[in-house]
Structure 1
Amino acid sequence: MTKRIISLFTALFGAAAFFTAGATPGTATRAPLPQGNAPDRCPTHFIGVHGMDETGDDSATIKATWDKFRDLSPEPKPAGYFTTYRSIHKDDLNSTRAAILKWSGVYRASTLEGVTEIGLNVAETLRRCPSTHFVLAGYSQGAWVIDEYLRQSHTPLGHIDGVALYGDPQWDHGTKGKGLARRLAKPHLSGGYPDPPNYRGRIQTLCANKDPVCGEGYGDLGVGAQVIDASNCEKPKCPHLAYGPTATNRGAEFLASKAFKKNKINWKNLSYQLTCDDVVDKPVRVDIRNGKGTARPPGIGSYARWDVRVQRVTQGSLPGLGDVTGVLFACSPQPSNFTTQEMRIYRSKDGAEIGRIPGIPRASGMLPPEYQPQSVSIGNGRIVADLKFYGPGDIHGEPSILRHLTWIWNGRSFVKHSEVNAVKIDLSRQRVTVNGIGPLKINMTRAEAQQAIGAGIPDGPGGPTCKDLTVTGGPEGLSLRFDNNDRLVAVSVRSPASISTASGILVGSTREEVLTMYSGEVKEPDPDHLIFTPGGAQFQGKVITFALDSDRVGSFIAGKEAFTDPLPCGSD
């Protein structure tokens, strides 16, 4: 009996370790937690990941952690998200050997679905509010999902403040006990625990004594006893199902201690030295509170006051500087009828100013150009922004010429790196082909792509060979896939985007509509995918892959065949 159970767990790479309270598995749709403040406030973002046999926000362990974490949070209150990936049924472990082998593949797909969902939520949150910081909480299978996400993620380290895990099958406490994944799936795991080492000090794992899944207290006993206890794990006796208030309070307090550190900089409640875009030569102190502040004489020129507000806070990493924060200010000297803008860069760690983005030269008699605040970002070694310039005949407040600018650090100061005219293209009105979408063509560099559409494409997380990026102000559900050479290799469309292919296929189209539209040029590698491979030498190596959900198109991706896996980069 013991040998049969051990072989079963080995076949599943330790997957059977994930036992939690019974419930119906989740669906692939995503459901947010109660939302926090508006995106420009960038509240801390909590991501909760449920375990086996749980769905969405029905995980008692994760829900209790969220409730306590929110109670401990200062203003602005955090935003939250519960994953809804399809977790696994424990009852499937009683299936036949053939079914078990099939189930092991389902388990891997389930785990990767959770990894993908975290990645999508992080990417979308950073797109909407790039200075967001995250905390993650995972229970049982959800803990393993987070382990895998941290290994694969390209999310900047500075954005993840803390991780709380409960009953993690990958737990490794040396001679005091190891999780079933550590005991039975060691060849499939990388490194020690926790992984990756860059997150040490930010991860807390709680493993109850005699929890057979994470293994604390089993010491060097034979693995058979631990496996048998896991197989018989039932309420109310099994410690794996008993992470109550004592444990969840500890987890929430740990996350709060990391997310709300006393020295964490609140960029909208700070004192700055500003010139109101060179209204004066010597910087003047301005105390900003809740994103607004006022400067008064002396030192502000002939004005009675400056009204200053923070328009944008963005964070990223720059060569030679490390983690930095950019703050865009709007300054309105009073009395006057104009507003200036000023962008300064600070060290994220301590708030020390590094330098200022230089003022933008303009034609004689023209008003200064205007930053488009939501376009400002830091990534790929550069600071990026769209500005609108005044042209002949433009009236005050309505500049008409959009340009895309970048700046770099030259070791002494920030200097302009590029400036291109941009005519913003509405991508929601364009159609997808194997060659791209609208003016965006496969093999374009990211700089060329930004110029072609007149909008920024900020850098973001990804995988070892590619990254999925979104367009600033672009349609929700559209992402652009770039390879490691920063060249466009595929275009992906998912709900809620209504963008179609050139032949009219879109999210929601049926299997039969796809087969009819591309008759004779469609492959069916499995029941969940259709691949359109057009004939003609000019299309060689390019395809459109349709991912199906209940025989309807759930998403599709077009471009180079090697990069048209519907799963986001970093999920495999």
Structure 2
Amino acid sequence: MRGSLAAKQGSEECSDPGPIEAKGKGGPCLELAIRQRIPSILATFALAAALPCSVSSAAQPQPPPDCRVLFVGAHGLNEDANSTTLKNTWAAFHAYSEQHGGFGGDKKMLPYPKMGTKQFIAAIRANPENPQMSSLPAVNQGVEMLDTAVRDYLKQCPSGGGVVLTGYSEGAWIVDEFLRRYYGLSAVVKAVQLYGDPLYEDPNTGDLGLARLYGFASNFPSPYPDSTLEGPNIVRSRCIEKDPICGGGFRAAHSVGNVGRQTIAAINCARNHSYCKSHTDSYSGRIAKQGGEFLAAQSFTPD
């Protein structure tokens, strides 16, 4: 009887647990209180987890676009966007900019696929009677990437400082082709520096780039370099002696024999790097420094 009464009293005491902390002394009443509160506690945590976090969802302020002069580089054969010639051109451009108030902005090196000299020359010579740009997919990709880079800059900076372009070897051809296809964008181009251009032409010496020899220049404006851009001497092209890609010193316009000599030199260039040093190793030093300074001087506007 006494045990039944104790059990009844215990049941009555724990029948309405109330707040957990009100039970105080622990024992069966505390255990019962915790068990009865577990569903509501779990529901509270689930609701809290579902609520959006006001800190993380807050809109972060975006930095303003850099509307100073944009440097865009197109790399050459057997290399990627990490081209030494382009990097050294950029370094000279940037140094000049820093000395004149920092008018130069960011750089954009175009990441189109690497193309070997052997593949490049084979594509150029594949169909001399009817040359097709479709045989040079890397060149076409580079042109489209350059177009995108310039248009993106114009969207962000319609009244920006403009763009300077530099292209080495295959990259020079990409710049040429971009200026031909998208001449409507030429107003934003401040200056262009080319090195070892396969479309090179010097009427004074008779030197012709390899792509020009094989008919790829029929749709390009004359004289070379492109004179449709605004401003005097806005485009400068460098081609050194014995470079078979741009034809320096071969005088191919003067005789068929000279065309043959240049073609053989280009084939040897594709087979063995030691025959191609005039094209691969000659533009990254002093010439690149001069190129960067030229681009900077053309795009600098004194106050």
Q: Check whether TM > 0.5.
A: yes
The Cα offsets for residues 131-181 of structure 1, whole Å up to 9 and x where unpaired, read as 221000000110000001111225544321100000011111115111112
**Paired AA for residue 111 in structure 1:** V
| 1:87–1:111 contact (8 Å) kept in structure 2 | no
Q: Conserved in 2, the CA contact under 8 Å of 1:66 and 1:252?
A: yes
Name 1:120's counterpart in structure 2. 148
Matched, 1:195 2:195: no
The residue identity in structure 1 corresponding to 2:268 is N
- SS of 1:205's partner is strand
Unaligned runs of 5+ in 1: 1-37, 266-572
Of 70, 82, 99 in structure 1, the residue corresponding to residue 94 of structure 2 is: 70
For 1:502-517, what aligned pairs fall within 5 Å after superposition?
A: none
- 8 Å CA contact retained: 2:211, 2:217: no
Deviations 1:493-520 (A, max 9, x none): xxxxxxxxxxxxxxxxxxxxxxxxxxxx
Structure 2 equivalent of residue 239 of structure 1: 278
CA apart distance, 1:243: 1.1
Conserved 8 A contact 2:72-2:164: yes
* Separation of aligned partners in 2, 1:159 and 1:105: 26
Does the residue aligned with 2:241 lie in a helix, a strand or coil?
Answer: coil
> Does the alignment pair 1:84 with 2:111?
yes
What is the TM-score when the length of structure 1 is the normalising length?
Answer: 0.36
Partner of 2:299: 259
Change (3 A) 1:144 1:67: same
In 1, distance between residues paired with 2:95 and 2:248? 30
151-160 or 251-260: which moved more?
A: 151-160
Alignment match, 1:217: 249
Query: Aligned residue for 1:316?
Result: none
The structure-2 alpha-carbon separation of the partners of 1:148 and 1:187, relative to structure 1 and needing over 3 Å to count, comes to closer
Change beyond 3 A, Cα 1:170–1:39: farther
Post-superposition CA distance 1:309-342 (Å, at most 9, x none): xxxxxxxxxxxxxxxxxxxxxxxxxxxxxxxxxx
Question: Do the aligned partners of 1:144 and 1:168 also contact (CA within 8 Å) in 2?
Answer: yes
Corresponding residue SS for 1:78:
strand
Residue aligned with 1:232, SS = helix
Report how far residue 226 of structure 1 moved: 0.5
Q: Quick check: which has more Rg, 1 or 2?
A: 2
What TM-score comes out, normalization by structure 2 length?
0.66
User: Contact between 2:103 and 2:300, CA under 8 Å: does it hold in 1?
Assistant: no
Distance (whole Å) between structure 2 residues aligned to residue 94 and residue 156 of structure 1: 30
Checking the alignment, whether the CA contact within 8 Å between 2:92 and 2:290 is kept in structure 1 is no
Q: Which structure 2 residues correspond to residues 92-491 of structure 1 after superposition, within 5 A?
A: 92=119, 107-132=135-160, 133-176=162-205, 177-185=207-215, 188-192=218-222, 193-199=224-230, 201-219=233-251, 220-221=254-255, 222-233=258-269, 234-236=272-274, 238-241=277-280, 242-262=282-302
Letter in 2 for 1:140: S
- Within a 5 Å distance, the mapping from 1:470-549 to structure 2 comes to none
For structure 2, the 5+ residue unaligned runs are 1-62
Alignment check: 8 A CA contact 1:88 1:107 kept:
no
Count of residues paired in the alignment = 222
Tell me which residue corresponds to 1:47.
72
Distance, in Å, in 2 between the alignment partners of 1:155 and 1:93 is 29
SS at match of 1:191: coil
Secondary structure, aligned partner of 1:168 = coil
Deviation at 1:225, TM superposition (A): 0.3
Shift of 1:123: 1.1
Shift of 1:245: 1.5
Q: Is the 8 A contact 1:150 1:196 kept in 2?
A: no
- Deviations, residues 512-531 of structure 1 (Å, cap 9, x unaligned): xxxxxxxxxxxxxxxxxxxx
What letter corresponds to residue 176 of structure 2 in structure 1?
D
Aligned-partner Cα distance in 1 for 2:66–2:244: 43
Q: Relative to total residues, which structure has the larger strand share, 1 or 2?
A: 1
Letter in 2 for 1:124: D
CA distance in 2 between partners of 1:125 and 1:93 (Å):
30
The alignment-based identity, stated in percent, is: 31
CA–CA separation in structure 2 for the residues paired with 1:40 and 1:62: 23
**Residue 188 of structure 1: how far off its partner (Å):** 3.4
Q: Report the 3-state secondary structure (helix = DSSP H, G, I; strand = E; otherwise coil) of the residue aligned with 1:146.
A: helix
Alpha-carbon distance in 2 for matches of 1:175, 1:107:
31
> Could you tell me whether the CA contact under 8 Å between 2:192 and 2:295 is conserved in 1?
yes
The amino acid that maps onto 1:139 is Y
Which structure has more helix as a fraction of its residues? Answer: 2
Write the deviation string for residues 401-446 of structure 1: whole angstroms up to 9, x where unpaired: xxxxxxxxxxxxxxxxxxxxxxxxxxxxxxxxxxxxxxxxxxxxxx
Distance 1:225 1:46, change over 3 A: same
- Write the distance in 2 (CA, Å) between the matches of 1:51 and 1:141: 5
Residues 134, 152 of structure 1: alpha-carbon distance in 2 compared, 3 angstrom cutoff? same
Amino acid at match of 2:173: W
Please report how far the alpha carbon of residue 236 of structure 1 lies from its aligned counterpart in structure 2 after TM superposition: 4.8
Cα distance change on mapping 1:130 and 1:94 into 2, 3 Å: closer
Partner of 1:451: none
- Please say if residues 212 and 226 of structure 1, whose CA atoms lie closer than 8 Å, have aligned partners that are also in contact: yes
SS in 2 for 1:165: strand
**Structure of greater relative contact order (alpha carbons < 8 Å, 6+ residues apart):** 2
